[in-house]
């Protein structure tokens, strides 16, 4: 029997694509080599990291802010139990995907998928048995894997020198955690362990953390993390990560030149990015082209081979679960003969630290570089009533709009719950809305989101509460 669609990989890109295709009446199979469905995101990414972030935030709140509220406690950590919460969260998520596959009558094949060419996929099971499946359409959704440090050999043992995967399952709170790479994943997992008591040092090549984020945001955010005890070594090129007697050492030198420095760590988390994962997929033999960075080359989600599509972390674009999901939906629609489409200019991104960082659209630096005339409005949470009532006054909202048309081009938020607040900006931008549209929409009081309204008011005229 030939399937209409065979999806290789069951991460957010793959499983969503499969469900959508099945809903559109197509006969679908999914190939997954991992024991459970859900890919990086559900097993070793978004979900377990957010579970630990939430739990550790409860700890931090109990330690630092309860006292102000008149609630006196001495919290104690039970790390195995916290890990059990994380594992339970992962389990309920991955089981949810399995249930959805069943419900949508999607077949699954456990094993490593290989593209044999147009219309054919093989699956090699753990026992080495190979099965061939016919597929009118193939969707490559094999995601990404840990990248390591370019030019430096890193021996991940996932105990002392760990990737994000190991950092999600440490057996005890390290005394000193050195994080190589000041991007989203490093800062999130660094935050988890910092809140639980670790001293955290971040070593980053660029002169700023969260490279690519709005400069104002990154600067303010770094200040807030420093207040939480983070130490930063910026503009630092890591030249070696090695195990030592008491843990490991990280050696780095200033990017601008100068003498090298070596620091001791109990645990080193290398979070310098992820690489597209196409190992063993047989793409070269099948004639599927990759780009210069090893990503599957696509045009409108299609590869150069008829009937083969690719989505998610394995193709160009931000490595985000919801971007993968949206591409998954678009591909399913295209295969079903509909007009699938992804609006790449409105993809929100969130950093789940405390406070959170969220943004959608262009940064101020991008607008400058592109020579677009813009205006900006900013509003601090310190002037927001709900923020005061919840002791979450750090951060601000920044709205960027076209100078002439007032169309909103970007919104950036540092603050508690920023990840939920960013969606109104996404909805607005999908409508091509102006800062006046945003500022004149009635925002419920007292909410943190009123700061979004105030920043919009500040963009086209003046804020009320500042």
Residues marked as binding for FAD?
50, 113, 142-144, 313, 319-322
Q: Which residues, numbered 346-365, are part of the site for other proteins (CB under 8 A)?
A: 346-350, 358
- C-alpha 92/C-alpha 83 separation (Å) is 14
Q: Cβ distance 177 to 193 under 8 Å?
A: yes
Nearer to other proteins, 265 or 457 (CB): 457
Residue 422 as a binder of other proteins (CB under 8 A): the answer is: yes
Residue 334 as a binder of other proteins (CB under 8 A): the answer is: no
At 296, list the tokens.
């599957």
Residue 305 as a binder of other proteins (CB under 8 A): the answer is: no
Q: Which residue has the tokens 């920043």?
A: 455
DSSP code of 147?
-
Residue 55 as a binder of other proteins (CB under 8 A): the answer is: yes
For other proteins, the binding residue among 34, 391, 402, 436 (CB under 8 A) is 391
Residue 424 as a binder of other proteins (CB under 8 A): the answer is: yes
Nearer to ligand FAD, 15 or 460 (CB): 15
The residue range among 219-227, 263-271, 362-370, 441-449 that interacts with other proteins, by the rule CB under 8 A, is: 441-449
- C-alpha 155/C-alpha 292 separation (Å) is 25
Nearer to other proteins, 25 or 371 (CB): 25
Could you tell me the strand order of the sheet in which 356-361 lies?
A: 349-351, 356-361, 408-415, 396-402, 374-380
CB of 265 vs ligand FAD, minimal distance in Å: 19
Q: Is 176 a catalytic residue?
A: no
Going from the C-alpha of 147 to that of each of 10, 166, 302, the distances in angstroms are: 20, 14, 25
For other proteins, the binding residue among 161, 170, 421, 458 (CB under 8 A) is 421
> Which residues contact ligand FAD by CB under 6 A?
8-14, 31-34, 39-41, 45-46, 49, 112-113, 141-144, 164, 185, 277, 280-281, 312-314, 319-322, 324, 352, 445-446
Going from the C-alpha of 324 to that of each of 104, 228, 317, the distances in angstroms are: 20, 33, 9
The residue range among 2-10, 86-94, 211-219, 239-247 that interacts with other proteins, by the rule CB under 8 A, is: 86-94
Residues marked as binding for NAD(+)?
181-188, 204, 273
Q: Cβ distance 154 to 161 under 8 Å?
A: yes
The residue range among 62-70, 128-136, 139-147, 236-244 that interacts with other proteins, by the rule CB under 8 A, is: 62-70
Q: How many beta carbons lie within 10 A of that of residue 413, not counting itself?
A: 33
DSSP code of 312?
G
Nearer to other proteins, 278 or 384 (CB): 384
Nearer to ligand FAD, 254 or 446 (CB): 446
For residue 204, give the nearest of 150, 258, 254 by alpha carbon.
254
With 0-12 / 13-18 / 19 or more C-beta atoms within 10 angstroms meaning exposed / middle / buried, residue 244 is exposed
Residues marked as binding?
50, 113, 142-144, 181-188, 204, 273, 313, 319-322
CB of 332 vs other proteins, minimal distance in Å: 10
| Catalytic residue from among 64, 341, 423, 445 | 445
The residue range among 134-142, 285-293, 337-345, 361-369 that interacts with other proteins, by the rule CB under 8 A, is: 337-345
From the list ligand FAD, other proteins, none, which binds 33 (C-beta under 5 to 8 Å, kind-based)?
ligand FAD
For other proteins, the binding residue among 8, 30, 41, 121 (CB under 8 A) is 41
The residue range among 69-77, 181-189, 214-222, 369-377 that interacts with other proteins, by the rule CB under 8 A, is: 69-77
Residue 263 as a binder of other proteins (CB under 8 A): the answer is: no
Q: Is 307 helix (H, G, I), strand (E, B) or coil?
A: coil
* Strand pairing report for 261-265 and 247-254: antiparallel
User: Which residues lie across from 317 on neighbouring strands?
Assistant: none
DSSP code of 382?
G
Nearer to other proteins, 2 or 58 (CB): 58
At 164, list the tokens.
């994000």
Q: Cβ distance 377 to 411 under 8 Å?
A: no
Q: Which residue has the tokens 């931008």?
A: 429
Nearer to ligand FAD, 194 or 314 (CB): 314
Q: In residues, how long is the chain?
A: 466
């Amino acid at each position: 029997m030939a399937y209409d669609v065979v999806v290789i990989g069951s991460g957010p890109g793959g499983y969503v694509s499969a469900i959508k295709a099945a809903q559109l009446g197509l006969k679908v199979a999914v190939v997954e080599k991992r024991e459970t469905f859900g890919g990086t995101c559900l097993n070793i990414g978004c979900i377990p990291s957010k579970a630990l972030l939430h739990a550790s935030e409860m700890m931090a709140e109990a330690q630092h802010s309860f006292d102000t509220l008149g609630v006196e406690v001495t919290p104690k950590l039970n790390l195995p139990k916290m890990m059990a919460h994380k594992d339970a969260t992962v389990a309920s998520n991955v089981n949810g995907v399995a249930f959805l596959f069943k419900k949508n009558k999607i077949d699954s094949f456990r094993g490593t998928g290989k593209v044999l060419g147009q219309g054919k996929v093989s699956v090699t099971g753990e026992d080495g048995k190979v099965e061939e499946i016919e597929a009118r359409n193939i969707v490559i959704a094999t995601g990404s894997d840990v990248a390591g440090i370019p030019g430096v050999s890193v021996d991940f043992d996932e105990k002392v020198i760990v990737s994000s995967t190991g950092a999600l399952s440490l057996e005890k709170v390290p005394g000193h955690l050195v994080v190589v790479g000041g991007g989203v994943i490093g800062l999130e997992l660094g935050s988890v362990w910092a809140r639980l008591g670790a001293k955290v040092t971040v070593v980053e090549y660029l002169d700023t953390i969260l490279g690519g984020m709005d400069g104002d945001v990154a600067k303010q955010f770094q200040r807030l993390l420093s207040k939480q005890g983070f130490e930063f070594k910026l503009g630092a090129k890591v030249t070696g990560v090695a195990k030592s007697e008491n843990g490991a050492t990280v050696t780095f030198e200033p990017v601008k030149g100068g003498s090298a420095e070596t620091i001791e760590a109990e645990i080193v988390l290398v979070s310098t990015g992820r690489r597209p994962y196409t190992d063993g997929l047989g793409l070269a033999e099948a004639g599927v082209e990759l780009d210069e960075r090893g990503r599957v080359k696509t045009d409108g989600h299609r590869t150069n081979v008829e009937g083969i599509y690719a989505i998610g972390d394995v193709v160009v674009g931000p490595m985000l679960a919801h971007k993968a999901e949206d591409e998954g939906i678009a591909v399913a629609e295209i295969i079903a003969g509909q007009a699938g489409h992804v609006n790449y200019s409105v993809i929100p991104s969130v950093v789940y630290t405390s406070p959170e960082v969220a943004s959608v659209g262009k940064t101020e630096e991008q607008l400058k570089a592109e020579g677009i005339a813009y205006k900006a409005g900013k509003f601090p949470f310190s002037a927001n009533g709900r923020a005061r009532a919840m002791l979450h006054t750090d951060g601000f909202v920044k709205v960027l709009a076209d100078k002439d048309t007032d169309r909103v081009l970007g919104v950036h938020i540092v603050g508690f719950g920023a990840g939920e607040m960013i969606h109104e900006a996404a909805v607005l931008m999908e409508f091509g809305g102006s800062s006046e549209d945003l500022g004149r929409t009635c925002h419920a009081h007292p909410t943190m989101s009123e700061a979004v309204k105030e920043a919009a008011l500040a963009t086209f005229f003046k804020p009320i509460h500042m």
